[in-house]
Amino acid sequence: ESACKQARGGGGVKASNNWVRNNRVRRMVVGVGWTFWGVITACWLVVVVAMIQLFSRFVSMAQASSPIPATAKVVLLVVAHPDDETLFFGPTFATLRARGVTPHVLCLSTGNFDGLGGVRKVEMAAACKVFGVEGSKVTVVDDTALQDGPDTAWSLQLIAHHVGTALARTSADTIITFDDGGVSRHPNHIAVGAGVEVAVAERGGRVAPLYLETTSILRKFIGPLDGLVCLAGGSPMCVADAAGVVSTYHAMTAHASQWVWFRKLFFVFSRYTHINTFRTTRRAPT
């Protein structure tokens, strides 16, 4: 009996020793794990800080070589539909705000393709307010001959008439709009650029035009990385810093009727959320 007790006692001691040993191993593994994740986290923070510093330098370089002339005092932005100003020109608003210039915005339709013209007009006013543009500087044209739709042909002379009226009212010295690709190849965007070209020609060079560059699909959807392509090519840029991107997000959410999944993806991946580049001619040089 005593031998059995000793055997049981010896087994208990051995089990206790094994528990202590296993516990030490567990604590050592946990300690190594925490150390590993601590090192990874520290490295990630260093990378994030470095990226922020690089991006800040990138923004500073871009702002120093902005495509918008330093002499631009009164700027008129001309778009086709409510939400164009936000989806495509956010970096332009950021650059102008940094200069203390508040643009006038002319939209040549109410975007009534789905019967929401009245709603979209109100949404555009709210979005522009996010960018610091008050309602008195936002004009939305409701012309039966300029209705939103890819199959609707817009008269260039009619566009030029509305643009000319806006130029006379605002005394703008710089006008910004789409190039011959219209960013998305939308016929209304392309027509707006062509109509602005007519209006500028009628004024004999008294207004400086800037046409938003349409890029390839690949460049269009690599977000801020397209800035590296622009730097390599020596292209002046309007760049939205972190605050500018946040403003664009809030402006886009103001377009509640349009804030659907594919526009959310566009906002996330598009270079136009971060970068605008321009040409002084509507067509790319050949």
User: Do residues 284 and 266 lie in contact, with contact meaning Cβ atoms separated by under 8 Å?
Assistant: no
List, in sequence order, every residue forming a beta bridge with 76; answer none if it has no partner.
Answer: 104, 175
With a threshold of 0.85, does the pTM exceed it?
no
**Percentage of the chain exceeding pLDDT 70:** 79
Q: Where are the alpha helices (DSSP H) in 65-176?
A: 84-99, 117-130, 156-170
**Whose CA is closest to 273, among 222, 229, 230, 211?**
222
Query: What would the pLDDT profile of 235-266 be if each residue is shown by its tens digit?
Result: 899 999 989 999 999 999 999 999 999 999 99
For the cut 50, the answer to whether the pLDDT of residue 5 exceeds it is no
- Residue 284 is predicted with a pLDDT of 76
What is the spatial distance between Cα 193 and Cα 227, in angstroms, rounded to a whole number?
24
Residue 83: its H or E element: none
Question: 25-39, 169-183, 230-244 — which is least confidently predicted?
Answer: 25-39
CA distances to 227, 254, 266 from 274, in Å? 8, 19, 12
3-state secondary structure 171-238: CCCEEEEECCCCCCCCHHHHHHHHHHHHHHHHCCCCCEEEEECCCCHHHHCCHHHHHHHHHHHCCCCE
Q: What's the confidence (pLDDT) of residue 286?
A: 64
The token pair that represents 231 in the structure block: 């730097």
How far apart CA 195 and CA 164 sit, in angstroms, is 10
% of the chain with per-residue pLDDT over 90: 71
